[in-house]
Amino acid sequence: MTAFTIEFQKQKVMRTVVYSLFPVIIGAIYFFGWISLAIVLISVITCVSTEWLFVRGKKGKVSEAVFVTAVLYGLTLPPTLPFYMVILGAIFGITFGKMAFGGFGNNVFNPALVGRGFVYITFPMHMTTMWLPAADFSQFPGGFVHWHFLPMDDSIATITSATPLSAFRDGATSLPGYLQLFLGNIFGQFEKLGELTRIGGGSIGETSALLIMIGGIYIIYKKAANWRLVVSFFSGFLIMQTALYLAVPEKAADPLFALLAGGVLFGGFYMITDPISAARTDIGRWIYGILAGMLTVLIRTFSLFAGGVMFAILLANMFGPIIDYAVNNVRQSKKPSQAN
């Protein structure tokens, strides 16, 4: 009887991405409590086990990229999500977002977003209205001494609040300031249509813009993420957001608020830069990133979904191979004329 072992395919770049997420994970614990770390660990265990089940019979190795998928997926979930939903989404993301295409290097879609998309569609109430407010910085040590941080009451079942972005869409007249959004300190009550409403922190890894930027700049510096994808995504986002803000300010938030609220920064540094599901030519990366950024704004502004990053990047994933194909065809068509 052989011992149970899991062999991993060494991928230094993937480890770099995971290391860069440590500040975000620590921030998640502070804002929401140790339940945040539990969700991430459950995601890691489930994702690794699921991929191992597919490769074990072929004597293959589990890719270290699965850790990136697992941590990213876990950080895009709200801290109120039941553990069994975390597990179901992780299994779905690895199975249908990665292994169904042949494993690492072959997937068309970002598997972390595939898993989140499954949970979002299957359990919409838990993903859109049941949010946990982030801790107030004045209440240090915040979530470090709590399983889940409940500053107003003791029952997690009573938590129903809006994220800053959804509160804006619903006509809130008083919202978190730029500094609050930048730091992640968005706990509080804000006026919405003449009544006070609670503003939730959103997904556990998307609360603090500062912590996301620290990790994002690090992976660009270490060349674990392609800077063209990051710059093109944010460029497309800001151009479209500015245009719509000037045209329909009642529907589109100002560009800085829109950038800091929701998952735009997290998506722009960590999701759009997935090297497998993104375009792979330099010109293609510019087109791909701009497309995803603009789609994010359009979905946020005109659809039912307050956060359009997930759907925008999944849509862009579909166009990635087509964009590269078109770019390569144009290059090939120019070669004869250059030779003459």
pLDDT band at 239 (very low <50, low <70, confident <90, very high): very high
Q: pTM of the entire structure?
A: 0.89
Q: Can you state the angle between helices 209-221 and 12-20, rounded to 10 degrees?
A: 160
119 Cβ contact partners less than 8 Å away, ≥ 6 residues apart: 77, 81, 85, 86, 88, 89, 126, 127
pLDDT digits (tens, 9 = 90+) for 66-115: 999 999 999 999 888 899 999 999 999 999 999 999 888 899 999 999 99
Q: d(Cα 173, Cα 111) in Å, to the nearest integer? A: 37
Mean pLDDT of 109-138: 80
Hey, is 190 helix, strand or coil?
Answer: strand
Q: Is pLDDT of 199 > 60?
A: no
pLDDT band at 285 (very low <50, low <70, confident <90, very high): very high
Q: Is pLDDT of 150 > 60?
A: no
Alpha helices, DSSP H, located in 151-281: 164-169, 178-183, 209-221, 227-247, 255-260, 264-266
Q: d(Cα 254, Cα 238) in Å, to the nearest integer? A: 10
pLDDT band at 226 (very low <50, low <70, confident <90, very high): very high
| CA–CA–CA angle 7, 224, 33 (5° rounding) | 75
DSSP string for 233-249: HHHHHHHHHHHHHHH-T
DSSP 3-state percent helix, strand, coil across the chain (nearest 5)? 60, 5, 35
